[in-house]
Copies of this chain bind each other. A is one copy, B any other.
Amino acid sequence: MRVVVQKYGGSSVGTIEKIKQVASSIIKRKEKGDSLVVVVSAMGDTTDELIALAKKITDNPDKRELDALLSTGEMISSSLLAMTLKDLGYDAVSYTAYQIGLKTIGNYGKSLIDDIDGSKIRNSLKEDKIIIVAGFQGVNEEGDITTLGRGGSDTTAVAIAVKLNGICEIYTDVDGIYSVDPRKYSKANKIKEIDYEEMLELASLGAQVMHSRSVELGQKYGVPIYVGLSNSDIKGTVIKEVYNKMNMEGKAVTGLATSDDDVAITIENISYDINVLSNLFEGLASRKINIDMISQTSPINERVNISFTVPKEDLKESMEVVGIYAKKDCISIDEDITKFSMVGIGMKTTSGVAAKMFKLFSKNNIKVKMITTSEIRITCAIKQEDKLKAINIVAEEFNL
């Protein structure tokens, strides 16, 4: 029997009324004969409310305790959903991370799934139960409760699908993945199938539909992931390996994504000593600070200027590390940054995408502050005020 792992996000289970709707769509699926494991996020704004409670105590809550606190949100929604299904006459059971042996490694607040002991889930599936799993949470080697970071329930769902050799369906409040955020570009097209790699670039760049680690996991184990609305006939998007079958003459650019969540740090006149630079970046990495764009001037007198972007939330911690290697008056921060990215596996085979973009930007007076490229994406840092203009001219030009 095929195992279907579904995930319902916080807005889908935001009220008891909505939990009942989710239950009815689970039942519809169950009646088709699938074995069902359902991963849920916390109801609505529960996680934010719990964080607000912790912030009343301190600006810097202990991370172990914060994880223990936040894990309750998903326990509440999962038990309520199981309760609803039982009340409707379906055998359901809710499980926490402890109960299904979802082991994590790494730091509190952004732990990585190490393994899942699938036996409890498998036994319950054999008993024809609908299994409801509290998403977002895990247990580390010390037996402490951990969380997987924002959006971590997606990763919980994909990890379970991997473990059970199932397929994964992520139900959310958007009806699929769009080439451009429809709120910013009304003519945006929905993508029917998107390659893991393209989705990864879009997810990590702020498309905000999927937790990027869940896409990585799907890619690693070849688990296709459906993203769409629940209780709806509108078809969503399937994330899978499309690269091999892709039309080489197809689009160069699949999608656009922008993000205002980063800030650029510039260090002027730092020693061009590979040890200094690698220590700096290792120092940041060891604190799990995600550096995205890096640009560096050519060395003059063995000294260089270097700029890089970090997530806004990590700015304070980043500055502590930077402070070790540079004097205060050599460091500057630019908060007026939008990361603007074009993504497409077609870029591998289509040349001139970057050139076209630069031409468009210069014609429209959009200043590019930094730029990085990978095989399948081009990202520029631009001013926030230029964001909407950039989206519209690029989407128009590349027919997104």
Contacts and interface: CB of A to CB of B under 8 A. Distances in A.
A357 interface: no
B75 A87 contact: no
A68 interface: yes
A76 B53 CA distance: 10
Contact of A87 (B16, B58, B83, B84): B58
A21 B96 CA distance: 32
Given A57-B16, A58-B87, A69 B65 contact: no
A96 B57 CA distance: 21
A276 to B, nearest CB: 35
Contacts of A99: 143-144
A84 B120 CA distance: 36
Contacts of A50: 76
Contacts of A338: none
Contact of A61 (B20, B87, B98): B87
A140 to B, nearest CB: 12
Contacts of A120: 143
A66 interface: yes
Given A65-B83, A66-B83, A83-B69, A57 B19 contact: yes
Contacts of A96: 68, 145
Given A65-B79, A99-B143, A84 B57 contact: yes
B53 A80 contact: yes
Among A54, A64, A80, A143, max chain B CB count under 10 A is at: A80
A62 interface: yes
Interface residues of A, number: 38
A93 interface: yes
Nearest to A120: B143
A80 to B, nearest CB: 7
Contact of A62 (B54, B58, B71, B82): B82
A56 interface: yes
Nearest to A69: B79
B76 A72 contact: yes
A70 to B, nearest CB: 9
Nearest to A23: B57
Contact of A68 (B61, B79, B143): B79
A254 interface: no
A86 interface: yes
B65 A94 contact: yes
A83 B56 CA distance: 11
Nearest to A20: B57
B98 A83 contact: no
A233 to B, nearest CB: 27
Interface in A103-156: 120, 143-145
Given A53-B80, A57-B87, A58-B84, 4 more contacts: A16-B57, A65-B79, A69-B80, A99-B144
8 contacts: A58-B83, A58-B84, A65-B86, A65-B94, A66-B83, A69-B79, A69-B83, A72-B76
Interface of A: 16, 19-20, 50, 53-54, 56-58, 60-62, 64-66, 68-69, 71-72, 75-76, 78-80, 82-84, 86-87, 93-94, 96, 98-99, 120, 143-145
